[in-house]
Amino acid sequence: MTGPRILIAGLGETGVLTAVRLSRRYDIVGISSKPGLVSGQELGLRLTRPERWARDYRFDFGALRGLDRVRVVHGSLTGLDLETRSVGVRHLDGTESREEYDVLVISTGVSNGFWRRPELQSVDEVDAGIREAHERLASASAVVVVGGGAAAVSAAGNIARVWPDKRVDLYFPGERALPSHHGRVWARVRAQLEAAGVGLHPGHRAVLPPDFTGERITADPVTWTTGQAPVAAEAVLWAVGRARPNTDWLPPELLDEDGFVRAEPDLRVPGTEGVFTIGDVAATDPLRSSARNFTHTLLAANVRAYLDGKPLTTFQAPRRRWGSVLGPQPDGHTIYAPDGRGYRVPTWAADGLMQPLIVNRGIYRGVRGWRRRPR
């Protein structure tokens, strides 16, 4: 395909969906440190039922029909040259190359715990990481989850439901967990956690281990800055939200004081020509909400408008997080609206309509081999 080349730096979910939206009209190159799409969503499901999680949240790039026209480069980004409009890439075999662009989309995401890592990995390495975390939790008689966000709540709830004989305790710093969600969400989820036997411990702010990265499950006692006695468990899962942007490859002038990519309201990177950003790496708003809310459709429209010389549209960030919290459960999948109301999709509808028709066909434009995956 001739015409402008759009380079998508980072093929997590946001990068993939942006590429899918643009691939029918432009020459698209996507760069990924992973050998396929490895979602950061639904941590609890990933930890407890990894095969079921992989059905809907992990795909080889070749399985996604929407990427058929996209050239995928498996490698780590090493640098950006704004003058030559090119990026450096290091491949698994240690060789390096450069990729040029007319438009660059920065969607490299963040590092946040062992489930969201920027390292260049092979299929076997991704498999090993998922299996190791699952087996570590499966063998523990007691699990402590530290954190109050959706990842922590999802992990605690699913561990307790899948392994009811374990002692599971959730420690979080505020009066309630899910502080970025509407209060109705926590009220409903709290009842579900209590019914599953999760011990809830508000007002606990943990002392982070030395050189904390959250990239491993620990076993050392957890101590608290808030004065409570230390807590010990065979497995301690850290989900404290210490997200680190994957921006080491970018010039410092593109970044804010926290290392995230600076963003204009239309998702362009200020001071550059033809550079956009989206997702958790983009400093759009405190919730980094361009990673959700179907913002990839707005970005794709703005890229088209930029190339056509037309006005661009402004991104309007929501005030609260919304969507799934506990993920798919035996009795269905509850999705929370921004106003906190929960809508349960029965399992038959989630498996028979929502995932195959709305997500796979409508959003990804087709997923090869999905119905042969474990349920």
CA 46, 51, 55, 59 torsion-angle sign? positive
pLDDT of residue 216 exceeding 90: no
Q: What is the pLDDT at residue 212?
A: 72
Q: How many residues does the chain have?
A: 375
Q: Which residue type sits at 213?
A: T
What is residue 282's predicted lDDT score, i.e. its pLDDT? 97
**Full DSSP string of 23-41:** TTTSEEEEEESSSEEE---
Token duo for residue 278: 């989206």
Nearest-angstrom CA–CA distance, 204 and 183: 19
pLDDT value at position 210? 74
Quote the pLDDT of residue 292.
Answer: 86
Q: What is the pLDDT of residues 119-138, one digit of tens each?
A: 999 999 999 999 999 999 99
Q: What is the pLDDT of residues 254-286, one digit of tens each?
A: 999 999 999 999 999 999 999 999 999 999 999
Mean pLDDT of 316-332: 92
d(CA 281, CA 262): 9
SS3 291: helix
- Give this prediction's pTM: 0.94
Assess contact for 101 and 86: CB atoms under 8 A: yes
- Alpha carbon distances (Å) from 259 to 46, 101, 130, 199, 307: 28, 23, 28, 36, 28
Report the C-alpha dihedral over residues 323, 327, 328, 330, rounded to 10 degrees: -120
pLDDT band at 243 (very low <50, low <70, confident <90, very high): confident
**5 strand-pairing partners:** 27
Q: Are 263 and 277 in contact (CB under 8 A)?
A: yes
* Cα–Cα distance for residue pair 276/302, rounded to 1 Å: 9
d(CA 72, CA 28): 9
Exposed/middle/buried for 53, CB within 10 Å: 0-12, 13-18, 19+? buried
Domains of the chain in sequence order = 5-121+243-321+350-372 (3.50.50.60), 123-236 (3.50.50.60)
Q: What digits encode the pLDDT tens for the residues 152-192?
A: 999 999 999 999 999 999 999 999 999 999 999 999 999 99
355 CA to centre of own chain: 18
Backbone angles phi, psi at 44, to 5 degrees: -60, -40
Within 8 A by CB and 6+ apart from 117, the residues are 111, 129, 215
- pLDDT tens-digit series, residues 21-77: 999 999 999 999 999 999 999 999 999 999 999 999 999 999 999 999 999 999 999
